[in-house]
Structure formats: structure tokens, C-alpha cells
Copies of this chain bind each other. A is one copy, B any other.
Amino acid sequence: MAPRRKVTLTPICLLVYLWCFGVFMTLAWGSKARHFKWEVDYMYAAPDCLENVVMGINGQFPGPTIKARAGDTVVVHLTNKLHTEGVVIHWHGIRQLGTPWADGTASISQCAINPGETFVYRFKVDKAGTYFYHGHYGMQRSAGLYGLLIVDIEEGKKESFHYDGEFNLLLSDWWHKGAHEQEVDLSTNPMRWIGEPQSLLINGRGQYNCTLAGAHNSNGSSLPVCKFRGNEQCAPNILHVEPNKTYRLRVASATALASLNLAIGNHKMVMVEADGNYLQPFSVNDFDIYSGETYSVIFRTDQNLSNNYWISVGVRGREPKTPQGLAILHYKSTTTSKLPNLPPPKTPQWNDYTRSKSFTNKILAFSGSPRPPTNYSRRIFLLNTQNRINGYTKWAINNVSLNLPSTPYLGSIKHGLTSAFDQKSPPETFVNTYDITMPPSNPNATYGNGVYKLEFGKTIDVILQNANALNANVSEIHPWHLHGHDFWVLGYGEGKFSKKDEKKLNLQNPPLRNTVVIFPYGWTALRFVTDNPGVWAFHCHIEPHLHMGMGVVFASGVHLVGKIPDEALSCGLTGKLLRSNNHN
């Protein structure tokens, strides 16, 4: 009998085992792979009521919003349907732990996807938060290649703040001149500046040549009131809310240029998240958001139930020549079509930097957040200057203007292809005597494509130092974005960073972020740990500035990087290397 029992038991055990394993997978891991099939192509759209060519995904502009849960694996099969252009997509804020080839930066993490071909981005969204994605090749972000990536907290876990519902706002700025022509403008000698955007878009919708809030004449403009018959691509976003509830507003800025400020008429907001990291909550009437940043705020619908309210977005940091972007907060207790009876909140004075800095300084880590190491092992000073090379206007870091190589660094470093780029490390700092308050005495910079090779597992400090541009009395805002890592923002300061600033650095509760601003004539100090093997861009998130060379590249622990998919290596010298063993 015994052998018989054994035989019958085995399949049952197997089933039980599989069931147990399945439950374990669901409960303990609770994560899943989320697959998306995307096609990138140009299409006609009217983001601001004026028809234009935009870069869309699956016929949508902005691209589809990805919703996932922390711990999930996102798998995007990206097919390039453009006719002659390559394409990549960067998953902004996702650290790509263990998958540096999926970071979606052409010339850095991968070869651009050729027309007609498909690349599979497969990466873990390890941390809940508000993220977005965008093109990272040429100026394809400016062409409209962007969308939201929302990562909810793990199943069973709870946010530290309560909310009854949530809305996502993807902010961008829009030019009527195409991105290709903008590229040529910026690369021409003399450089032709692209100017201020024609419109601000909220979730891809703005209004040009008319105003939603005409009755209030809030812009001081004589624009006619927009008239919508319904279904227009540029009809405003309406956020339908129940009274007396708490809502989370996730806001991401994919602007090419504009620094923005967002406010909701009559509603206070509480800042709770920045770049996928929790903040020490603080209350605001409005908040600044720079290109590359994301925030979550919570607000309570505690105002007069019979009114609707404007959500307004306006330009800061540059003299605004662009009307406010508007959306409507609609209380379900009233009619949708009722325009707010109060004017849209006014955007604070564009050059009131004291106000901007005051806001920025309030951004601190939620208690219990990871603290930075108390010591750094290497500190790099990066001087931001506007320069010239053979008459072409450029932006440079320590006098080197970034010129990306045709072979992506990740592959060339991993495979030891030293001719792929300049092996000399870029300058670690700038001359002590540099006067940041004046135009560069010698404006001539050089092109470079060297990388900062950072030892793995070390603590790195970066002091971003702002300076005067080519014209006197001009110093611009630059939001710097780091790939593959969050960093602690240790502090901001005026003038040139000096020894005395050392003690001002916040090592107690500095916020973790992936994007940080440097104010005019000021410095910003940040710290991060090289704990993610790969090659990572660190650059000004203003698209024209990056295009004009305003970035650097950090490489760290590349020898620890796993098998890079061949498709990421198909171009340039890595392509040649991979082909070289097979001559037919």
C-alpha cells in the first residue's frame, strides 16, 4: 500500500506547493509586470487650439499615463514609427537600479532606436511617487514626447497623509515653431534664441489667442474669451471634486524652458512629496516648480460649494511673455460650465527670487527619511557659464561644453572602447579667482565628452555654482537633474560657495530629490552615494541649455553592470565590436 499512497500524494503536494508559492508571490511580492506597447510617431494636434505637429505615442499627446505600483516591473515595447529619426524615452526619476541600459538617454545609456525597430524598456519602479517620462534625444521632449508615470504605494502600505482622490497635472510649455527648427536655431551662428513659449499646457492643453478667464482680464491682455463647442483638444482640464474632501494633486513639470508657479484659487495646499520622496509637510498658497521636478500636494475642498475655482500656472524666473495656463477646479455641487467668479490666482512676480528661495528652503525631508552620510569622499565643483566656441553660443561646465559621442558611454566603458570618447576627466573645479558676478572674462570654452569616473559606493558632493551669462547682469535659473540616483539637497546660498558656507549645509533633514535648482548668482550643494552601477547624465533640464552643452556625465561601477542588451549597443563602436566576431 505504501508505494500507492506515495504516488497519489506527490501531485497533491506539488499543487499545494504551487498554490503556496503563488500566494507567497502575491502577498510577499505583490508586484507584477505591466506591459505596454507603444508606437512613437508625429501627428497633428492642437495643444493650444492652434494646429501643430507633435510627437505622440499611440496617437495620443501627451503620451499615455503609466500607472503602476511600487515594486512592479514596467515593460514598454517602444516601436519607432518616425520616418528618419531615432528615438529613446527616459523614465525621469526612476533610478533604474540594476538596469542602467533602460534609462533611455541616447549617447549615454543606449543607442537610439532606429525607425521601424522596437526596443523593450524593462525596469522596476521601486519607489512610490510622482514621475514622468520624456524623449532624451535631440530636442524630442520639446516636440511633445512626454507623459506621466505614477507609482502608487505598495499594496497594503499606507501613505503618511490621507486623501480621498487624486488628480495628475503634467505641465509643459509650447512653441509654435517645431523642435527641429528650434534645434537649428540654437545651433546656428549667431545663435537664435527660441524665445518664450507661446503657451503653457496642462495635461497637453492650453489656449492661444484667447483666454479662459477673459471676464477677469487677469493677464492684463485684450485677448478674446475662448469659446468651446466641446471636444476641442485645447478645452481646459476640469478637475471634478466633491466638497469637503481631501485630494492629492500630483504635478510634474516637463517644460522645455519655463519655471512655473501653480496655485488654486482660494485653496491652500500642503506639500507632501517631491520627486518621489516624502516631505516634511508645509502649507502654501502656491508653489514653484522647475523643469524636471515633480510634487504632490494635498488640498481640501472646503470653499464655497456653489463656486468653481481656477487652477493657474504662470512663468517665474524669466520675464513672462506667456499667458497663464488655466484649469478649472469644479465643485460637483455646482454646474461644470460655471466659470469661477474670482480671477485666477496671480503668479508671483517673476523675479522675486527671495520668495522663490523662501519656498525652496522649506522643502525638507519627512521625518525618518534616510539621512546623508556625514562625510563626503569627493567634492566636485561645477561652474555654470554661458560661453562661445568658434562664435557659437554654448553653455559650459568648468568651461567644457558637453558634446555627446555617437557611441553611448555605458557600452563603450563596459567594453573598454577608449576611443569612443575623451578619456581625460573633465575639470574637477574652476579657478578660484573666477568672478561669478561678471560675464566670463574669456568667454571661449571647449567641447568635451569626457566623463567623471566616480568610485563605486562613495559619497559624492557636487557644488553647482551659478555665474553671470555672456551679457552683463544676467544670471539664469538652471534646474539640474541627476539620472540613476536621488541626491540630498544640502543647501543653497548666495554668491560663490566658500568655506564659511560649509557649516550652513543641512545634514539633518535635507530633502532627497532628483532635480534641484540653482538660483542666479548662487550655489546649490548636493550629496549622493554612487550605489547604482551605470553611466548617468547630470544636466540642466532646460532643453535648449542641454542642447547647448549644459551637462556632465558620471560613470560609476560600470564593471558591475550586468549584460547590456545588444539592442542598446547596436550603434557606433559597440555595434562594430559586437559585429566584429562574425565576418561573412
In the complex, A404 Cα to B106 Cα: how many Å?
25
In the complex, A114 Cα to B583 Cα: how many Å?
21
A578 at the interface (CB under 8 A from B): yes
Residues of B within 8 A of A44 (CB): 184, 188
Report yes or no: A406 in contact with B582, Cβ–Cβ below 8 A.
Answer: no
A579 at the interface (CB under 8 A from B): yes
Report yes or no: B184 in contact with A43, Cβ–Cβ below 8 A.
Answer: yes
CB distance from A420 to the nearest CB of B (A): 11
A contacts with B, residue count (CB < 8 A): 48
A117 at the interface (CB under 8 A from B): yes
A196 at the interface (CB under 8 A from B): no
Report yes or no: A181 in contact with B114, Cβ–Cβ below 8 A.
Answer: no
Stretch among A62-70, A82-90, A227-235, A318-326 lining the B interface:
A82-90
Residues of B within 8 A of A139 (CB): 83
**Nearest B residue to A414, CB-CB:** B584
CB distance from A194 to the nearest CB of B (A): 14
Within 8 A of B (CB), among A388-439: 404-406, 415
Interface string of A269-310 (1 = CB under 8 A from B): 000000000000000000000000000000000000000000
Within 8 A of B (CB), among A534-584: 563, 566, 569-572, 575-584
**Knowing A117-B572, A571-B570, A582-B582 touch, does A42 contact B112 (C-beta < 8 A)?**
no
Residues of B within 8 A of A184 (CB): 42-44, 53
Q: Which of B43, B114, B406, B572 interacts with A111 by CB under 8 Å?
A: B114
Report yes or no: A575 in contact with B584, Cβ–Cβ below 8 A.
Answer: no
**Nearest B residue to A547, CB-CB:** B83
A116 at the interface (CB under 8 A from B): yes
A140 at the interface (CB under 8 A from B): yes
Residues of B within 8 A of A30 (CB): none
A115 at the interface (CB under 8 A from B): yes
In the complex, A44 Cα to B191 Cα: how many Å?
11
Q: Which of B53, B138, B563 interacts with A83 by CB under 8 Å?
A: B138
A183 at the interface (CB under 8 A from B): yes
Interface string of A203-237 (1 = CB under 8 A from B): 00000000000000000000000000000000000
Report yes or no: A114 in contact with B571, Cβ–Cβ below 8 A.
Answer: yes
CB distance from A78 to the nearest CB of B (A): 14
**Nearest B residue to A576, CB-CB:** B566
Residues of B within 8 A of A579 (CB): 566, 569-570, 575, 578-579, 582
In the complex, A184 Cα to B44 Cα: how many Å?
8
In the complex, A180 Cα to B177 Cα: how many Å?
13
CB distance from A184 to the nearest CB of B (A): 5
Report yes or no: A582 in contact with B571, Cβ–Cβ below 8 A.
Answer: no
Query: Interface residues, chain A, CB within 8 Å of chain B?
Result: 42-44, 53, 83-87, 106-107, 111-112, 114-117, 137-140, 178, 180-181, 183-184, 187-188, 404-406, 415, 563, 566, 569-572, 575-584
- Give 8 closest A-B pairs by Cβ, nearest first: A116-B406, A84-B138, A581-B582, A578-B579, A83-B138, A84-B85, A42-B184, A566-B579
